[in-house]
Copies of this chain bind each other. A is one copy, B any other.
Amino acid sequence: MFLFVHFTKVMINGGHLNLGNIPIMLQLTASFKPKDCVKTPIKVIFKPMSTIETQVVIVGAGISGLKAASDLHKGGCNSCVVLEGRDRIGGRLHTVEGYQGRKYDMGASWHHDTLVNGLFEEELGLPLEQRAGFVFDDDEMIMFDKDHKRLDMDPNMVLEILQGELLKFIELQFFESLEVKDRSYYEMIVKYLYQRRDLLTDDQIKYLPQVCRYLELWHGCDWKTLSSKFLEIAHQGRNAMVLHYSTIVKRVASTIPEEWIQLKSEVTEIKRCQNKVHVKTNKNKIYICDYVVVTVPQSVIELSLHPEYRRGRIEFIPPLGPEIRNAFTKTHYSALGKVVFEFENCCWSKERARILSLGKSSTDFTNDVRNAQSYESLLATLQNKTQYHLENGQLWEFPLYFVNLAKTTGVPSFVMLMQEPLTSYVESLQDKNKAYQFFQPILEGLLKTLGNSNPICVDFDNKNATSDQDIPVLKNLITTNWTREEFSLGAYSACFPGDDPMDLIIALTHNENSRIRYAGEHTIMDGAGCVYGAWESGKREAALILKNLQGL
C-alpha cells in the first residue's frame, strides 16, 4: 500500500472549478457559493489520499452488490471491498420498525415471479430458521372510489374482464408493425374507449380508465408518463410478501468477510488507468482494482452524464461512452412510494388482502368519449380535464393500492403504495400530521369499504385517546423517502413512451471484457426491477469476474 496526494476537480452545484491534476485535496469553506466563486477565498487543506490495492471494488451494498461479493468470496476471491454510501447495507431493501416494533419493508417487499425466482428458490432450500418468512398475498382486489362505491367483481360492468381486453388491445397495436409509435398508457386507454365505445356501456366507459390505472402502482409512475409498449407485467407465478427482507440482506451479508464492507463510503470517481481501475471515495481513499462493479441505481448513474455536482454522483474518467449516454434517452426512473398507516388494533374486515382506491370517475368523461368526432380531438378535449392539482389536495386523482396486513400477517396496519408525481409530493411533506390530513379522506373510505364507518382517531402522541375497540386509532404513520435520498433518487427503472429498456441493459453489460461492470435491477431483463433480478445480476458479474481473474 502506498500514499500519494494530487489535485482533483472541485465540483460544485451549478458549475465546476477545475484545478487540474495537481495533488491537493480541497475542502470548501461554508461561505463558498457558486456565484462568487472567483472572489471568495478558498481554504485549502492538504489531506493525504490513501491508496489501497484490491482485486474487486463493489460500489453499493444493495442486494446485487452483496450477492456479487458473496459469490466472489465463495469463488476464492480474497481481496474485495464493498463501498456503501449509506450507513447501512441493503440499499433499496430496507426494513424499518414502527409502532410496538412492527416491521415494514419500505423498499421492495415481495418475492415476485415465484416460479422462476432464484432467490426465492434459494430461500426454500434453507432450514426454516434461516429463511425470511413469506406469505402469498395475491387475492382478488377490492376496488372502491370516492363515492365509496364497490367496483370490483361487478357482474354487469365486468371491469376486470374489460381491463384484460384493453391490455390485449394495446399489445395488438404493437404487433401490427415495429414502427407503431409508442404512446402513453393514458392515450392508449382513450384510444380503446373511443374505438370500442359502441361495445361499452356508459358505466364501463366511466369507470374502466380508473381501474386500468392500477398498473401505475406496479410501475411507480402515472398513466400519462407510462409507456404503453412496455406496460405489460408477465407474472411468472404468484407474489409472496417477504417477512422481512432484512433477514435476507443479513444472511447474504453474513457470507462476506466483515472487513470487506465499508459503510458511509461514497464513491466519487471511477477512473480507468491502463489495466486497473481507480475508485476514489469521500474518505480520501483510492482503491486500485482489477474490476469495479457499479451497483448504484440507474438514477445515480444518470447523474454522471451531467457535470453538475450532486452528492452520490460518480465522476467517470473517461466519461461514460455514447452507447450508455444514448441508452439513457431511452429509459427513465420512477418512484413508487409507500405510506404505512399503523392502527392500535384491527377493527375492519380481514377477508381481503388487497384494496385499490380508485381515482375519481366522471360522467363528463363518458360524454366526451361518446361525443368525440375523432380520437385526436378527444385527446385534445380531455387534455385539461386530466391535469393534477396536488397542492389543492386533489388526492382523488390517483389510484392508490393498500395492503391489508391484518389479513396476511395479523398486523393491524395498512401499507399504501403510491406513484409519481404523488410520491415526490408526499415525501416532501416530511410531516406525519400533514401526510395524514392529505390521506384522511381515502383512509376513511378504505375503512368504510372494509366495514368500519367510525371516524379515525389520531393518536400519534400515544395518549390512548379511546378504549372503544371499534374506533380505528391511528398510532403512527411512516412515509418513504426514496425520492429525497441521494443514493436512490426514486425507486426503480421505468419506461416512458418511446423508451426501450433493452438499450441500457445491453450498453451496461454487453462488453464482457470491460473492467467497469454493472449490476442491479436496471441491468437485467429477467427480473428487471425486482430483487431477484438484482440478485441474479450480482451473481452474473461475480461469475464473470471470477472467470476473468483466473485468466490473469
Contacts and interface: CB of A to CB of B under 8 A. Distances in A.
A519 B235 CA distance: 37
A285 interface: no
B158 A139 contact: yes
A169 B352 CA distance: 25
A258 interface: no
A368 interface: no
Interface in A195-214: 198-199
Interface string A165-208: 10011001000000000000000000000000011000000000
Interface string A147-168: 0000001010010111011001
Nearest to A158: B139
B124 A165 contact: no
A116 interface: yes
A161 B237 contact: no
B235 A198 contact: no
Scoring A139, A198, A351 by chain B CB atoms within 10 A of each residue's CB, the highest score goes to A139
A4 to B, nearest CB: 54
Interface string A135-148: 01011100000000
Given A160-B140, A161-B238, A165-B237, A352 B116 contact: no
Contacts of A160: 140
A236 interface: yes
Interface string A102-138: 0000000000001110000000100000000000101
A168 B235 contact: yes
Contacts of A237: 165, 168-169
Nearest to A172: B115
Contacts of A165: 115, 237-238
A351 B140 CA distance: 19
Number of copies of this kind of chain in the complex: 2
A468 B235 CA distance: 51
A202 to B, nearest CB: 15
Majority SS of interface residues in chain A?
loop
Contacts of A172: 115-116, 236
Contacts of A164: 235
A393 to B, nearest CB: 33
A160 B139 CA distance: 9
Contacts of A238: 161-162, 165
Nearest to A204: B136
Nearest to A235: B168
Contacts of A199: 114, 136
A143 to B, nearest CB: 13
Contacts of A198: 124
A38 to B, nearest CB: 63
Scoring A160, A162, A165 by chain B CB atoms within 10 A of each residue's CB, the highest score goes to A165
A160 B351 CA distance: 16
Contacts of A352: 155
Interface string A202-240: 000000000000000000000000000000000111100
A124 B197 CA distance: 12
Contact of A115 (B124, B136, B158, B168): B168
Contact of A140 (B114, B153, B235, B353): B153
Nearest to A169: B115
Contact of A161 (B139, B161, B169, B407): B139
A227 to B, nearest CB: 20
Contacts of A153: 140, 153
**CB-CB nearest 8 A-B residue pairs:** A138-B161, A139-B158, A139-B155, A165-B237, A155-B351, A165-B238, A155-B352, A140-B153
6 contacts: A115-B172, A136-B158, A138-B158, A155-B352, A161-B238, A168-B237
Interface of A: 114-116, 124, 136, 138-140, 153, 155, 158, 160-162, 164-165, 168-169, 172, 198-199, 235-238, 351-353, 407
Given A115-B169, A165-B237, 19 more contacts: A114-B199, A115-B168, A116-B172, A124-B198, A136-B158, A136-B199, A138-B161, A139-B155, A139-B161, A140-B153, A140-B155, A140-B160, A155-B352, A161-B238, A162-B238, A165-B238, A168-B236, A168-B237, A169-B237
